[in-house]
Structures are given as structure tokens and as C-alpha cells.
Structure 1
């Protein structure tokens, strides 16, 4: 199966402070490479037919960087659409099947999380499958957990595992949400109410790079030393 992958790359990166004054967050460098290239490397290992990135803040910089790659871009204008609205807006490029989505502000150490999601995906039981991180595997993360995962893999909200930013999701129900800009949390709540949202836990290490200290943490995780 050839997958469609959505790279979320439109955010303002406010938590990054000075690092995003002159560039979008996916262009912040970790271990000598922009975050967007770390995310692309994960998609390059898949049988992905379509890879799409949504852009908004300083979109021209990302467009220039991605020119000539296999990543198609779509610019959200005049307003940013958040994760749910952004995914729905990109569906003409992604197609009608299930979509893998990946936030571009994290670094992974271990097996490819997208490959692991593919292997666990069961469309007969699932309308969504989230990759979550056990708190002990989240490098430098001190926020609350997001989901409690049951023995059967179904989830409910609670201070348990941390949503990683990687998932497989069916997109048909996005048409039922009557607003232009919205979070994917709205779709997740719909799927949880129908017992169709599942999660799995990542066995490797994960680092959120949403703030300046995250860059330092991620480079330490990768064993990178500045010359």
C-alpha cells in the first residue's frame, strides 16, 4: 500500500522564541539539519506515494527549501487552519484513503515510528491509531500525559502516555466539522465516542523540540557535538 503522509509545518513556533524570529520552526536546525529534514527522512523509508506539508508562517522559506524534493506544499492563507483544518485543506493532494500525519518538531531515536504504525494499523477496527510515548521515554518533557491506553489499545483522555505527533487517521469525518480552523482533538473525541480510536506506545526515545532547550536535548539524544 502506498501511503499519503501529511507533515504539519504551518505553526508560528512561538515557544521557540528567538530561534523562529527569522525562520519557520521546521527550519530550526538540530544536529546540523533542519527539523523538516529529520521528518522527511522518516517518510523516505516508507512506501509513501504522496508527502504533503502545510505552510503558513514564513512559508516562502520552507517552499524554497522543499523545492525539488518529493514533498508537495500547500500554503494556508490568509489564516492558519490548525491541525484539523490543515489536514482537511490538504485532502485534494493527499487523496481519500487513510493518512499518516507527523509533526515536524520532534526527534526520534529507535525504529521508524511511521513504519511501526503501518504494521499495527487495522482499518476494520480502527479509524485512528496514535503513536504515544511512555513518560519515561520522553526526553526533557515535563508536561502532562494525554491518553490512557486500555489493554485492547482503545484510549481515553487522561494523564498517561504522551501523544507524539505521529498517527494514522481516516479523514472522512473531517467533513462533519463545521468550522474552517480546528484541532484534530475534535475528530479524536468523535472517534473515541465510537470506540474507534486506538493507540500504541513507542519503544524508543522521543524528544519534543518545541522550545529552545529541546534543541539541546535532541542533539544530546543523537550524540551530536558541535564542532
Structure 2
């Protein structure tokens, strides 16, 4: 996501004038989360300086000695949890979302799986052409939502699921497929705002979206 990440990690990229991680922490705090562990590597000192002294929620920072991959980073971050016997939330550092975590938690408890993924409906970046069987074009739809669901990068883990994460590597190609085979992985469809922030275009679009939706503040 250069040039934004030339001087900072992705979580510190600003959207509508504020770092992504600030939106995330405020969202978690509003749902009663008191302690957050941030696993980082690249430009970790920028995160450390920004989050120093934060109390709502309190933040602990763990620095990876080498890139661990997404699954390895999740497992590494879990080592900083204060309560190792209760379920915990986890989320990627490059997403913006607001949905009720209490409902997410209730769904997870009801299903009884080891891990529950939040799922976002897929929105294509392409425009769709509305065309009849005869070839007549009736109109165009820009970037519609499609009838597919993607991993939104927000999870609830049971404590025993942590050991199933790779020490190094990606959980979506190892842990998740195995749990799916065992019938111990569930998905919660988000009814609320979500978007990934992976490209320069995403940053620009999100910076226009956030003020319109929430007046620049997480809900």
C-alpha cells in the first residue's frame, strides 16, 4: 500500500484523518473490551509511540522477530492475553468494520464451534452490465454486492483453538480447512459496515465513506 506504508505499518495508515487502528480500538472499547494485544513487526516503533499510554482499551504490543504470517501472528499475539481460559476476539489490522460484538458472541456460543468467523458480503470492484438473453443492454450497476461471503478478518477463538494455529504461516490454508472438515468452524454474516483497506484506492474510497456514514467516528 505504498506510499502510505513507506513510513508506517498498515494499521497506522490514516483514513479520514485517523489511523485504522484508532477506529478498531474505539469499536472494541465500545463493546466492553478492556485489553488488546497488538502483534506487529514492520515499523513497530510507530505503533508503539502512537499507542503508548492508551488506557481505553489498554494495549500491549508484541513485536515479531521475523514475519510469522497471518496465522503465526494470531498465535503469537495470543501469548500476550491476560485471560487464557476465556474466548477472545481477534481481527486483522487492515479492516474497518462496525457490527454488534454482543450478537457475534451470542452466535458463537449458540453454535459451539472452536472458531467463528465474521463474514462480509462480497462487493465487486467492477461495474456489472445488465443484459438480456437477446443481447440488449438495459443498464449498468456499479460495484454491486454479490451473493457470496468472504472472511471479514474478525474472529472469536476458543482458548483450545490457539494451539491449532500455525507457528508460522497462514491459518486460512491450514487451521480453517481442517476445522471445517471437523464441523467446528462457523461463520457469522455481518449486518453492518465492513470494508478492507488493502490498496491506495481503498484508502481514498474509505476516507470519503467514513465521514458520510459516521461523521468520521466509529459506531
Structure with larger Rg = 2
Displacement of 1:171: 4.2
**Structure 2 unmatched ranges of 5 or more:** 127-146
Per the normalisation by structure 2, the TM-score is 0.77
CA distance 1:141–1:104, change in 2 (3 Å): farther
Q: Say which of 102, 113, 127 aligns to 1:126.
A: 113
| 1:170 to 2:158 alignment | yes
> What are the superposed Cα offsets for residues 159-198 of structure 1, whole Å, 9 maximum, x if unpaired?
9301111111224244356x63111211111211110101
Kindly indicate whether residue 69 of structure 2 is the aligned counterpart of residue 82 of structure 1: yes
Change (3 A) 1:92 1:33: same
Deviates more, 1:65-74 or 1:98-107: 98-107
Extract structure 1 runs of 4+ deviating beyond 6 A: none
Q: How does 1:47-196 map to 2 (within 5 A)?
A: 47-69=32-54, 70-77=58-65, 79-94=66-81, 95-108=84-97, 111-122=98-109, 125-135=112-122, 138=123, 141=125, 160-176=148-164, 180-185=167-172, 186-196=174-184
Q: Which residue of 2 aligns with 1:150?
A: none
- CA-atom RMSD in angstroms: 2.4
**What residue is the counterpart of 1:19 in the other structure?**
4
Question: Is the contact made by 2:37 and 2:61 (CA closer than 8 Å) also made in structure 1?
Answer: yes
- Counting matched residue pairs gives 188
Q: Which residue, out of 21, 31, 51, partners 1:46? A: 31
TM-score (norm 1): 0.74
In 2, Cα distance between the equivalents of 1:124 and 1:212?
Answer: 38
CA distance in 2, matches of 1:104, 1:141: 21
| Counterparts in 2 of 1:123 and 1:75: CA distance versus 1, 3 Å | farther
| Structure 1, unaligned runs of 5 or more | 1-15, 143-158
CA distance in 2: counterparts of 1:89 and 1:18, whole angstroms: 28
Contact 2:99/2:190 (<8 A) preserved: no
Q: CA deviation at 1:223?
A: 3.0
**Cα distance, 1:32 vs structure 2:** 1.1
